[in-house]
């Protein structure tokens, strides 16, 4: 979307709220900052909706392309959709996801692929434009092998070591999250000589990060915390990347897609019922193509975790997942052109 700003006749105003604000500013993009926290069930929506009205009155957009706040939060994206008087599209970075916190969604979706389109049709009954994943187009220009070698040298990874990464999420209020992490630690420790990395989620505060690190330490599992690393750098350091169910698994699949050699075995860890329920409420896990397109391994039952971790550490498994990502993921390099076409079609 931001890439359209460089095209003649286009003016793009980027309105951003943390954590996206920090990421975009770190990449050098000019943003209109929103400093209000997201609205939750415990907070008042008035200030956010008023700000959205002020932005629309000042900028007078012809169309809104919105992103998504976390489930259960009402961010500036959702507020702009709620008070708008112009057409709107929702950029999905996950299959079938929508957040209508303030009661009104977009007119149509900018969808990742045919899987997302099918979910949108069944769940939301709104049209989709299949555009791919614009944010992954930049991966095509990276020297993935060179960057992987650089980060692994920085981490002093041994030649024969398997590198396991845990990618945290802001789900510590769920008992199943801690159980999942404990099960993963036990499964990784059983693999023998390995290296363990922890990439915190932006919404994990310092106290939560220390608590997570303490769990690794208590299990006798030395680890390194990659707080200041980008997701791409952290993933490239890993042979096996595990999260509950995060977009980082999709990022890992796209790194595999663009790599000349196998890189990463992503694992979605969904063995606890309370954790799975959270995600099934957004998009049913069984509808996602992680398993059907062989993009990631799925832990559906905690008893299967050790075997799946051991399998992920094998070169043959990583090779299989790499091949599937190369075949089953759409090339995103034309995504910006497809977004432009969708915007023009929506505006009539």
Query: Which pLDDT score is estimated for 1?
Result: 65
Instruction: Give the C-alpha distances (Å, rounded to integers) separating 80 from 61, 102, 143, 261.
Output: 11, 10, 38, 43
Q: Is the pLDDT reported for residue 3 higher than 80?
A: no
Measuring CA to CA, which residue among 64, 96, 69 is closest to residue 80?
A: 64
Where residue 220 falls (left for φ over 0; alpha for ψ -120 to 50; beta otherwise) is left
Residue-wise pLDDT for 218-271, tens only, equals 999 999 999 989 999 999 999 999 999 888 999 999 999 999 999 999 999 999
Beta strand residue intervals within 181-237, DSSP E: 194-199, 224-225
Query: Which pLDDT score is estimated for 298?
Result: 95
Report which of residues 51 and 123 the model is more confident about. Answer: 51
| pLDDT over 90, % of the chain | 80
Provide the whole-model pTM. Answer: 0.85
Average pLDDT over residues 106-132: 93
Query: Which pLDDT score is estimated for 15?
Result: 97
């Amino acid at each position: 979307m931001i890439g359209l700003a460089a095209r003649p006749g286009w003016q793009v105003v980027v309105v951003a709220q943390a954590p996206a604000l920090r990421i975009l500013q770190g990449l050098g993009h000019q943003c209109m900052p929103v400093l209000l926290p997201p609205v939750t069930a415990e907070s008042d929506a008035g200030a956010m909706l008023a700000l959205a009205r002020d932005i629309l009155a000042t900028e007078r957009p012809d169309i809104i392309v919105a992103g998504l706040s976390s489930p259960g939060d009402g961010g500036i994206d959702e507020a702009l959709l709620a008070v708008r008087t112009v057409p709107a599209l929702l950029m999905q970075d996950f299959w079938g996801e929508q957040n209508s916190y303030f009661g009104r969604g977009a007119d149509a979706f900018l969808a990742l692929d045919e899987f997302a389109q099918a979910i949108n049709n069944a769940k939301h009954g709104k049209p989709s434009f299949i555009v791919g994943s614009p944010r992954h187009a930049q991966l095509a220009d990276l020297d993935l092998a060179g960057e992987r070698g650089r980060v692994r040298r920085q981490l002093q990874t041994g030649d024969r070591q398997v590198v396991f990464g845990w990618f945290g999420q802001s789900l510590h209020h769920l008992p199943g999250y801690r159980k999942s992490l404990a099960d993963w630690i036990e499964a990784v420790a059983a693999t023998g000589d390995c290296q363990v990395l922890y990439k915190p989620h932006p919404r994990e505060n310092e106290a939560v990060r220390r608590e997570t690190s303490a769990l690794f330490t208590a299990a006798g599992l030395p680890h390194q915390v990659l707080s200041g690393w980008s997701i791409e750098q952290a993933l490239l350091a890993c042979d096996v990347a595990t999260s509950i169910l995060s977009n980082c698994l999709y990022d890992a699949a796209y790194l595999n897609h663009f790599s000349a050699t196998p890189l990463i075995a992503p694992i979605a860890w969904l063995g606890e019922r309370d954790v799975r329920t959270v995600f099934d409420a957004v998009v049913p896990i069984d509808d996602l193509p992680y398993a059907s397109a062989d993009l990631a391994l799925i832990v559906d039952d905690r008893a299967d975790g050790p075997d799946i971790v051991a399998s992920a550490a094998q070169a043959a498994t990583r090779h299989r997942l790499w091949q599937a990502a190369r075949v089953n993921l759409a090339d995103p390099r034309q995504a910006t052109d497809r977004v432009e076409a969708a915007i023009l079609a929506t505006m009539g």
